[in-house]
């Protein structure tokens, strides 16, 4: 059969249409298989979240019940919003319970999911939860970073209720750091918004913060007044935790005034509420109040019994938090390792699917080409072009696989290094503390003897916390969890905090620690990160300075810049060791003049944080003469 010229165009059109229809039939089943997911109504998730918020403040078991319901709903429906809300509520409930390490882990899980979908009210709440759990573990600089991020997100979204909570937490941590003026300012602003909008749940907490400010400033009358306000508002809003803390603070005021019977009565009420709430923190504080009250009444047997209960909870909480933090770090690295393996498998699967589709494509073209010579010529041309593109993509994917495999190997090596540091550097400190507590428990040491060795025990525990704090900071930098907030920073409060932190360390080695800075000198930087830098540099100087040595921290006004130096007259650093200081792969560390141990992470954190603030950490040293670390910052 021969085609006429006017039918030839129709033949080409039919040939192309046949190819398109066959290709469409081939790929439609694959497209349909990935669709058709049922979406859960967000209102159900919001309702369960609200119930969890109310329940956790009166009974943690009820809070866990609703949080786990949200997680089950998210898994059953493959609904990320429900999963994120579930992790967020677990973070808050663990915080109420006093399990801050698990609370931090769940809060970070929630943040990872929420961040995939941009700023939201849920993200603000999860960031606040992470900050609260960090605060309770005494990681104040990290906690402040998360609080400030929650404040910025709430302002960006125009959410006044989360903004109130951010003001409340920034006010609270400012009080802890001794900045009462800033703390009172944030509490006053937050209280005004809460009263205007009728958000009564935050009012008792603001009253509690203001009561603490007055107590620390010596105004007992005002402190008592605001504590009772916090208790009354806490009862009206059902916040039994703030009621218990109010009674505990009033009991401490009674102890200060010698009202031991009244202090014991309030201590018992606090203990009862703490046990009903399932809060180990409140119970621990109540036992300390009871121990001091009975000591004041000269009932030493009851005083010692309550003190032992206080130590028992304190010890178990410390060990549980330490082990959970280590487990959290390990879980994060395991998760990243598994994610890398999943990505490699998905990449391989995608390549196989592409190869399978290419084969089907060629088979269909071959079948159609038997009767369609013109279509065959066109198809061969297209096939050649497709093959070239496929080969290029295959080469690119192979390169990605090699890069991912190398990254996975580096991550595993880093994880092993961190765990070896934790196992080696924390073990001695914890073992010494355990030995001391065993002696106390077996009555081989008296309370008087315990008080004599308490400063050294506290120094050892503080050193362990510094190690954990550095590990946590470093882990978050590796996960891009640190955000730098450049703003005017006053140097004097930071230098005062450093002095307080290292008081016992310099006294033990009889080292002179001085600070030289003009009054009200300010720089442009990130206050939490600058605190971490100076704390590590001063700690390093103490470590490598011999007894009766001298350390100076200087802030020199150079016009547009301020040069910050940490100088010591210690042992100095050799040229070979100087090359290893800031290398990630070495984690270089050396024992101090009194055989003090280190992790090698402190200077790495300093180097990264100084770079985050737009500067560069430099060092000058000479063996036997001392070392100077310095960096320049823009003047505010």
Spell out the SS3 assignment of 539-591. HHHHHCCCCCCEEEEEEEECCCEEEEEEEECCCCCCHHHHCCCCCCCCCCCCC
Q: pLDDT averaged over the chain? A: 80
Taking residues 65-88, report their average pLDDT. Answer: 91
3-state secondary structure of 437: helix
Q: CA–CA distance from 443 to each of 399, 436, 471, 520 (Å)?
A: 66, 11, 36, 52
Taking residues 129-156, report their average pLDDT. Answer: 91
Cα–Cα distance, 118 to 34 (Å, whole number) = 24
pLDDT exceeds 90 at position 103: yes
pLDDT top residue among 182 and 519: 182
pLDDT exceeds 60 at position 234: yes
Burial of 206 per CB tally in 10 Å (0-12, 13-18, 19+):
buried
The pLDDT value given to residue 27: 43
Structure tokens at 627: 């070392």
- The answer to whether 508 and 459 have CB atoms below 8 angstroms apart is yes
Cα–Cα distance, 98 to 107 (Å, whole number) = 14
Cα–Cα distance, 605 to 588 (Å, whole number) = 13
pLDDT exceeds 50 at position 588: yes
Sheet holding 512-517, edge to edge: 512-517, 550-557, 561-568, 626-634, 618-622
How does pLDDT run across 113-127, given as a tens digit for each residue?
999 989 999 999 999
pLDDT bracket for residue 2 (50, 70, 90) = very low
The pLDDT value given to residue 615: 95
pLDDT bracket for residue 188 (50, 70, 90) = very high
Taking residues 559-585, report their average pLDDT. Answer: 87
With a pLDDT cut of 90, the percent of the chain lying above it is: 41
How does pLDDT run across 301-347, given as a tens digit for each residue?
999 999 999 888 877 665 554 454 444 444 444 444 444 454 555 55
Q: For the chain, what is the radius of gyration of the CA atoms? A: 31
Cα–Cα distance, 601 to 411 (Å, whole number) = 16
Residues sharing a CB contact under 8 Å with residue 49, sequence separation 6 or more, in sequence order: 66, 70, 85, 88, 89
pLDDT top residue among 420 and 203: 203
pLDDT bracket for residue 32 (50, 70, 90) = very low
The pLDDT value given to residue 627: 95
Nearest to 549 by CA among 511, 595, 514, 515: 511
pLDDT exceeds 90 at position 436: no
DSSP state letters, 327-365:
HHHHHHHHHHHHHHHHHHHHHHHHHHHHHHHHHHHHHHH
pLDDT exceeds 90 at position 523: yes
pLDDT exceeds 60 at position 474: no
pLDDT top residue among 289 and 8: 289
Residues sharing a CB contact under 8 Å with residue 611, sequence separation 6 or more, in sequence order: 617
How does pLDDT run across 248-283, given as a tens digit for each residue?
989 999 998 999 999 999 999 999 998 888 888 899
Give the Cβ contact number of residue 341 at 10 Å: 12
Structure tokens at 335: 């998760």
Residue 193: in which H helix or E strand, if any? helix 180-197
The pLDDT value given to residue 270: 92
Nearest to 551 by CA among 513, 525, 592, 522: 513
What backbone phi and psi angles, to 5 degrees, belong to 16?
-65, -40
The pLDDT value given to residue 561: 96
Taking residues 343-367, report their average pLDDT. Answer: 63
**Which of 386-395, 429-438, 454-463, 527-536 tops mean pLDDT?**
527-536
Nearest to 471 by CA among 98, 101, 94: 101
Taking residues 288-293, report their average pLDDT. Answer: 92
Residues sharing a CB contact under 8 Å with residue 448, sequence separation 6 or more, in sequence order: none
Structure tokens at 556: 């020199």
User: Directed axis angle between helix 121-136 and helix 80-97, to 10°?
Assistant: 30
β-bridge pairing 550-557 and 512-517: parallel
pLDDT exceeds 50 at position 468: yes
pLDDT top residue among 558 and 16: 558
């Amino acid at each position: 059969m021969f085609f006429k010229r006017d039918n030839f165009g129709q033949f080409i059109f039919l040939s192309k249409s046949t190819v398109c229809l066959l290709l469409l039939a081939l790929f439609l089943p694959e497209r349909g298989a990935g669709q058709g997911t049922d979406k859960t109504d967000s209102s159900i998730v919001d309702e369960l979240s609200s119930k969890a918020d109310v329940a956790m403040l009166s009974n943690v078991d009820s809070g866990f019940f609703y949080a786990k319901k949200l997680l089950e709903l998210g898994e059953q429906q493959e609904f990320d919003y429900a999963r994120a809300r579930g992790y967020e509520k677990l973070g808050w409930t663990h915080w109420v319970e006093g399990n801050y390490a698990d609370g931090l882990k769940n809060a970070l899980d929630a943040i990872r999911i929420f961040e995939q979908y941009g700023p939201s009210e849920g993200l603000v709440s999860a960031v606040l939860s992470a900050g609260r759990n960090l605060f309770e573990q005494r990681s104040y600089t990290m906690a402040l970073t998360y609080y400030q991020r929650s404040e910025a997100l709430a302002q960006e979204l125009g959410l006044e209720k989360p903004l109130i909570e951010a003001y409340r937490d920034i006010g609270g941590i400012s009080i802890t750091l001794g900045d009462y003026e800033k703390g009172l300012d944030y509490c006053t602003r937050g209280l005004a918004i809460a009263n205007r909008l009728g958000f009564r749940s935050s009012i008792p907490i603001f009253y509690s913060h203001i009561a603490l400010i007055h107590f620390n400033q010596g105004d007992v009358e005002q402190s008592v007044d605001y504590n009772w306000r916090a208790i009354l508002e806490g009862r009206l809003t059902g916040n039994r935790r703030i009621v218990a803390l109010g009674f505990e603070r009033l009991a401490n005021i009674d102890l200060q005034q010698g009202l031991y019977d009244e202090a014991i009565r309030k201590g018992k009420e606090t203990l009862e509420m703490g046990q009903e709430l399932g809060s180990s923190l409140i119970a621990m504080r109540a036992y300390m109040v009871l121990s001091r009250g009975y000591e004041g009444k000269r009932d030493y047997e009851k005083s010692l019994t309550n003190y032992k209960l206080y130590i028992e909870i304190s010890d178990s909480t410390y060990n549980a938090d330490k082990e959970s933090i280590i487990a959290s770090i390990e879980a994060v690295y395991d998760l990243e390792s598994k994610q890398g393996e999943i990505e490699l498998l998905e990449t391989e699967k995608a390549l196989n699917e592409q190869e399978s589709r290419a084969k089907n494509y060629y088979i269909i073209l071959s079948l159609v080409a038997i009767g369609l010579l013109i279509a065959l010529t066109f198809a061969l041309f297209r096939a050649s072009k497709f093959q070239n593109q496929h080969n290029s993509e295959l080469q690119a994917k192979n390169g990605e696989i090699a890069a991912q495999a190398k990254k996975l190997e580096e991550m595993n090596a880093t994880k092993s290094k961190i765990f070896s540091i934790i196992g080696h550097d924390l073990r001695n400190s914890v073992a010494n503390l355990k030995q001391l507590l065993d002696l106390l428990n077996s009555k081989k040491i008296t309370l008087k003897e315990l008080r004599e060795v308490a400063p050294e025990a506290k120094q050892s525990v503080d050193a362990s916390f510094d190690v954990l704090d550095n590990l946590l900071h470093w882990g978050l930098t590796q996960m891009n969890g640190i955000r730098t907030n450049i703003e005017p920073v006053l140097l004097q409060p930071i230098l005062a905090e450093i002095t307080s932190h290292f008081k016992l360390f310099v006294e033990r080695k009889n080292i002179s620690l001085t600070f030289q800075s003009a009054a009200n000198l300010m720089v442009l930087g990130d206050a939490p990160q600058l605190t971490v830098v100076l704390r590590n540099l001063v700690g390093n100087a103490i470590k490598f300075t011999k007894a009766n040595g001298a350390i100076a921290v200087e802030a020199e006004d150079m016009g547009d810049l301020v040069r910050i130096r940490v100088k010591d007259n210690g042992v100095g650093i050799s040229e070979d060791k100087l090359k290893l200081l800031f290398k990630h792969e070495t984690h270089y560390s050396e024992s101090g003049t009194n055989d003090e141990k280190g992790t090698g992470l402190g200077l790495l954190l300093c180097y990264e944080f100084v770079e985050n603030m737009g500067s560069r950490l430099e060092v000058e040293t000479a063996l036997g003469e001392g070392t100077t670390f310095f960096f320049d910052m823009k003047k505010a």
